[in-house]
Structures are given as C-alpha cells and as structure tokens.
C-alpha cells in the first residue's frame, strides 16, 4: 500500500515539475517575443527620425520580408517573367504544383500573345558564365512531362478545376488554348542584373483538338503515357533506373 502511495506522490511531483517547466518556457518565449517587437519598433523610429520616413518604411519592409522567406521570389524567375512580359506573354500562375504529386512544381505558367498556347516555363539561373540549362537532365524532363500531363488533365476534368488555383484565369485560358507546351529559360546574373540568355521553346508539346473537350471523347480516350517521349540521340544506357527517377 505504501509503495502505491509513494508512486502516486512521485507521479504528481513529476507532473507539477513538468508543468512549471512548460510555464517558464512559455514565459521566456513571450518575453523574447516582446523584446524583439520592442527592438523592431525602436529601430523603425530611429531610422525614421535620422534618415526620413522613406528609409524607415524601407527598413520595415525589409525586416518583414526577412521574417517571412517564403515571400521572397527567385531572381531567375523574376528575370524570366520580365522577359516573357516584354514579349507579350501573360503570366497565369507562379509556382503551380501538380494536384497528383505536390513535389512537381512549375515555375511559371504563361499564355502566348495570341492566346493559342499555354506554356509551362522552367527557369534555371546561373551566377557565372556557364549555361544554366545544362542542369535540366533526363529526370527533370520527366518531371516537366508529368506536369504537362497533369495540367492537361486538370483542365479537362471539371471536378479537378480547384487544382488550377482560386482564380478562374488559368482555367479559362486552358479551356481556349489549342496546345500546351514546355519551355526552358536560362538566366544569368544575380538580383536586378539577372537577364535572360537562352530560351528553348516546345521541348514537349501536346495539341488539343475540339473533340478533346467533349464528354464522349473523354470517356473513350486513352490515358497519355506517363513517360516523356524518348530522344533518339540520347544514349539509353546512361538513363537512371526507373525506381530512382523523380
């Protein structure tokens, strides 16, 4: 009986100690958050008084962006977007992820100036004088081919329209586009000095006819192959094993 009482007492003591540790940790976390917030506002006031309102606002924006790295975009994607807009392309989506596999991501999805083709753009950036598109190997091409098929299937199936994003711009553009293709854009440089140096168009392309959108055609249509078309000039012995492909 005494052993059971001692065990209960020890259990209560351990729970109380654990609770006190949690409370002290929460207090320390709250104190750190308060100190950081106070220091943040003090720095804003100091920069504003010493260098003006514009500098204080710039410091505030820079601090917020550093606190949320996901808000920052890649320099190569920004340069590719500027290049496409200069050509008359319309940007439909950025960092679009496949509904079938969330690991497959398209850097940009654009629409040609004549609204006839929807383009999946893969951007590669190099800081030096080398070719950035050399990093697009067979595995990456298979990912791009899967993205093309997933985007096409998402545009055809009404039930999966939610995978195209909250807005209807991408869904409407895919409905009227006659084909979907994949482009590669190589960018060189860092920051605002990054510029486009190479643009390869239509490494993969799938044309869509008017019958493709009818329900009768969709019920009898075959599923497209999940593997990309093979390049006859490539050595098949150098391809990675199928179980190691992305």
The answer, yes or no, to whether residue 192 has pLDDT greater than 50, is yes
Mean pLDDT, to the nearest integer, of 212-232? Answer: 46
Domains and CATH numbers, the chain: 2-69 (no CATH), 75-229 (3.40.1350.10)
Q: What secondary structure does DSSP assign to the chain, as a single string?
A: -HHHHHHHHHHHHHHHHHHHHHHHHHHHHHHHHHHHHHHHHHHHHHHHHHH-HHHHHHHHHHHHHHH-GGG---HHHHHHHHHHHHHT-EEEEEEEE-SS-TT-EEEEEEE-TTS-EEEEEEEEEESSSS-GGGG--HHHHHHHHHHHHHHHHHHH-GGGGGGG-SSSHHHHHHHH-SEEEEEEEEEESSGGG-EEEEEEEEEEEEE--GGGGSHHHHHHPPPPPSSPPPPTTS-GGGSPPGGG--
The answer, yes or no, to whether residue 217 has pLDDT greater than 60, is no
The answer, yes or no, to whether residue 227 has pLDDT greater than 70, is no
pLDDT number for residue 66: 62
Looking at per-residue confidence, does 158 or 21 come out higher? 21
- Model confidence band, residue 108 (pLDDT cutoffs 50, 70, 90): very high
pLDDT number for residue 205: 92
pTM: 0.59
- Model confidence band, residue 8 (pLDDT cutoffs 50, 70, 90): low
- Model confidence band, residue 119 (pLDDT cutoffs 50, 70, 90): very high
State the average pLDDT for the chain. 75
């Amino acid at each position: 009986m005494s052993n059971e009482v001692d065990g209960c007492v020890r259990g209560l003591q351990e729970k109380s100690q654990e609770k006190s540790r949690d409370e002290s940790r929460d207090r320390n976390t709250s104190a750190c958050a308060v100190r950081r917030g106070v220091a943040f506002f003090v720095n804003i006031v100091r920069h504003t008084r010493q260098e003006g309102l514009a500098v204080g606002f710039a410091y505030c924006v820079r601090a917020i962006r550093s606190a949320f790295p996901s808000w920052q975009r890649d320099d190569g994607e920004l340069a590719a977007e500027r290049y496409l807009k200069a050509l008359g392309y319309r940007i439909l989506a950025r960092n679009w992820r496949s509904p079938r596999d969330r690991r497959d991501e398209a850097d940009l999805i654009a629409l040609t100036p004549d609204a006839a083709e929807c383009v999946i753009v893969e951007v590669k950036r190099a800081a030096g004088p080398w070719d950035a598109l050399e990093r697009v190997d067979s595995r990456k091409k298979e990912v791009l081919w899967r993205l093309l098929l997933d985007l096409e299937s998402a545009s055809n199936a009404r039930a999966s329209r939610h995978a195209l994003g909250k807005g209807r711009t991408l869904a409407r553009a895919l409905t009227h586009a006659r084909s979907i293709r994949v482009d590669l854009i190589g960018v060189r440089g860092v920051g605002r000095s990054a510029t486009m140096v190479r643009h390869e168009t239509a490494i993969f392309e799938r044309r869509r006819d008017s019958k493709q959108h009818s329900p009768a055609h969709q019920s009898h249509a075959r599923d497209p192959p999940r593997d990309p078309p093979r390049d006859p000039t490539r050595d098949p012995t150098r391809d990675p094993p199928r179980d190691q492909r992305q």
